[in-house]
Chain A
Amino acid sequence: NAGVTQTPKFQVLKTGQSMTLQCAQDMNHNSMYWYRQDPGMGLRLIYYSASEGTTDKGEVPNGYNVSRLNKREFSLRLESAAPSQTSVYFCASSSKDRGDYEQYFGPGTRLTVT
């Protein structure tokens, strides 16, 4: 099992450009999440999908959109990138059905907006 995979690993954008970060999990998890990590601020939840077909805003959703394409895939889109969106983005998944309550994280995407 690959676990949680993210593409790309690195990306440089100019202000105003758009891009989509891809995330996929092969653990048959119901819930998926997108976080951003900034120095000294820990991880902050951008959007989450409790189950296939649903998405909800987290703590810092402005400037982002998401799509839960199917049970495996959850993408994050920046429509018009801004320097404030320079960050490391992590995707995660979990399944309460497993009884372990653990979130499994991908390796991250390092995004720089100039």
Chain B
Amino acid sequence: AQSVTQLDSQVPVFEEAPVELRCNYSSSVSVYLFWYVQYPNQGLQLLLKYLSGSTLVKGINGFEAEFNKSQTSFHLRKPSVHISDTAEYFCAVSEMNTGFQKLVFGTGTRLLVSP
């Protein structure tokens, strides 16, 4: 069975500073990896995904993530955050080669951007 660990429940940062949100996963098989964002009182929206190929993945709103198989990590980064990036971010994993996609989510990291 897979599991996802997001060690930081909350990350405060100043506007225009860089940020990294950490995600580690555990699985006995190869996986696909995702980051979703949830703005207040809304559903989840896909930021980016890693399916195969280049380990550096670029997503929407200037975010990127790097897949590190040896460290079983998929950390999310942004070089310069904006106030509007304040949201909750979820890392998720699903097994490859299933007939459908069954996601396992981390507990989330709340990013708080202040002026």
A residues apposed to B, CB below 8 Å: 4, 30-31, 33, 40-45, 48, 50-51, 58, 90, 92, 94, 96, 100-103, 105-108
Contacts and interface: CB of A to CB of B under 8 A. Distances in A.
Nearest to A9: B41
Given A101-B51, A102-B49, A51 B43 contact: no
Interface in B13-70: 32, 34, 36, 42-46, 49, 51
A33 to B, nearest CB: 8
B86 interface: no
Interface of B: 9, 32, 34, 36, 42-46, 49, 51, 90, 94, 99-108
Contact of A43 (B45, B51, B105): B105
B44 A40 contact: no
B58 to A, nearest CB: 15
Given A41-B107, A105-B44, A30 B100 contact: yes
B103 A102 contact: no
A96 B9 contact: no
A31 B98 CA distance: 12
Given A43-B103, A101-B34, A107-B43, 16 more contacts: A4-B43, A31-B100, A40-B9, A48-B102, A51-B100, A94-B100, A101-B32, A101-B49, A101-B94, A101-B101, A102-B34, A102-B46, A102-B49, A105-B43, A105-B44, A108-B42
A106 B49 contact: no
